Chains A and B, each alone.
Chain A
Amino acid sequence: MAKRVSKSQQLYQRKLKDAVHILFFTHHKLPGVRGWELRKELGSDWQNILEVLDKQLQPLDLKVTQVLDDPDIVEPTSTQLQDARYYITMRGTVDQKTAKTIGWRIDDIAGLAVSVAYIISKQGKALRQDVERVLEEKLPGWRVKLNIDRYINQGYLGEDEQGLLFLDWRARAEVDSKKLVDLVVSYGKREQGLST
């Protein structure tokens, strides 16, 4: 016998579908949607719907990621949540082989990692020349400038009028900064331990 679904369940299912359409498909120049857009489309219980969607995406190794305008906010207010951007990102991570298939060279990934870690170490802002100098230690000079421009175009890094680089929307959405810094430091300590 077909399972009977209540009207409220049907409504919830429809809202879940709407949330999938809004979050997965590109609507603007930049990916992701603002909280207020989700609220407008899904209604006042938009946050609960996102929570349910996040659980349903878990087996597919995907998740709903929230990025606040100010990364230092720990407990966001309702207004800050509505201004936040929401994305669908991978829950897990990719290996080098997969990264290559999506168009990333190992040098490019390493360059981005160093740039991001360096900027974090400088409190979120660093002079472009300094980042270039660090990258030039291991990458050819012509490639360094190209790579930084590419990271800027892709939204990983931003550059202000003073030539200071900062982490832009994509880095804040995709990179787990804390884990990256922890891994770099712990790797460094391990290397040090091995050499002594």
Chain B
Amino acid sequence: MSELESVINLCRMVQSGKIEPFDIDFDYVMGVIQKHYPKIKDAKDFCLDAEALKELSSVLERQNQWIEHKSTTLYKDPFMLSQSLMALDIGAIADIFLRSWHPLVEMEQISARTLAESMAYWGDLVPFAERWQDLDIEERETGIATRDEARLMGIILDEGFTETIEEFWKELGERVGPGGRIDYWDWIGAETYEDSVYRAYLTVFMVGYGYANADWDRLMEEHTIIHNVELRPDPGQAKVSLPVMVDYEEWKLWRNE
């Protein structure tokens, strides 16, 4: 261990209370730091030097606290105090403590109102027998559906998801022109609410995958979708997450306009 490391450890012993702050000779520690300073060659040496200075300043802080403590009325010579404690028998120590002890008073009590509220709660509580009743599950035979049937039921899409998004992006380009802008509701709004939700859903992915941009002006409450001329659907890039709300009332307002 180097001389600087020993000095650091010595200073740390003050922090952990193993030695008193004034047991450290400031001039000696500072002398060691000064001696090593011109020999610094690399970053590691610099770090060690800085650490030694930091630990020494912590010692100075503790020395300051020690002086402050000594100046308070609470200060009594530790040696004298521990000698006094050792000289006292257990009964006397307990007696002294009781003369400076003011125990806390606290109460725990249930009130009539709490009881009444608890009774009401109990009354509303569904019995366990009812809560744990078996669910009424009907056993059904598994069946087979064709791809077309699944498509008709809306379980799978007509085409791949990427193709759907790209079709959607082309539609945006045709409506607003390359790099054009359109109001969010004018873009997602459709004849039915369900279709509007579907368009909003696709819009989220279109923006997320870099086919379009979204401009949310919260001050003016203007929400715009911007067509991207160049695709940025790089799967390696971080995706943008766009939380949107398709409020039913807002859709109705848009429809009436």
Contact = CB atoms under 8 A, between A and B. Distances in A.
Nearest to A31: B106
Given A114-B85, A121-B78, A164 B102 contact: no
Given A134-B85, A180-B97, A188 B80 contact: yes
Interface string B71-94: 011101010111111111011111
A93 B100 contact: yes
B102 A110 contact: no
Interface residues of B, number: 42
A125 B19 CA distance: 12
A184 B104 contact: no
Contact of A90 (B18, B73, B85, B105): B105
Nearest to B105: A88
A174 interface: yes
Contacts of A177: 74, 100
A147 to B, nearest CB: 12
Interface residues of A, number: 65
A187 B88 contact: yes
A118 to B, nearest CB: 7
A127 B18 CA distance: 7
Contacts of A110: 90-91, 93-94, 97
A123 B102 CA distance: 22
B88 A109 contact: no
Contact of B17 (A114, A127, A178): A127
Interface stretch (A8-16, A47-55, A99-107): A99-107
A192 to B, nearest CB: 8
A186 to B, nearest CB: 9
Contacts of B94: 96, 99, 106, 109-110, 113
Contacts of B95: 96
A138 B90 contact: yes
A32 B94 CA distance: 26
A39 to B, nearest CB: 21
Interface string A1-44: 00000000000000000000000111000011000000000000
Nearest to B72: A72
B74 A88 contact: no
B107 A117 contact: no
B93 A113 contact: yes
B90 A181 contact: no
B166 to A, nearest CB: 58
Nearest to B95: A96
B65 interface: yes
A126 B19 CA distance: 10
Contacts of B86: 134, 137
Given A113-B93, A184-B81, A179 B99 contact: yes
A96 B84 CA distance: 21
B98 to A, nearest CB: 6
Contact of B85 (A117, A125, A179, A182): A117
B229 interface: no
B107 A24 contact: yes
16 contacts: A24-B107, A25-B107, A26-B107, A72-B72, A89-B102, A89-B104, A93-B101, A96-B98, A112-B97, A118-B82, A118-B85, A121-B82, A174-B104, A185-B76, A185-B84, A191-B88
Interface of A: 24-26, 31-32, 62-63, 65, 72, 87-96, 99, 102, 106-107, 109-110, 112-114, 116-118, 120-127, 130, 134, 137-138, 162-164, 170, 173-185, 187-189, 191-192
Interface of B: 15-18, 65-66, 68-69, 72-74, 76, 78, 80-88, 90-109
Given A162-B17, A175-B100, 17 more contacts: A26-B107, A88-B104, A89-B104, A90-B105, A93-B102, A99-B98, A107-B90, A117-B81, A125-B17, A126-B17, A163-B16, A174-B103, A176-B101, A180-B97, A180-B100, A185-B81, A187-B96
What are the 6 A-B residue pairs with the smallest beta carbon separation, nearest first? Answer: A188-B84, A113-B97, A121-B78, A179-B100, A180-B100, A110-B93
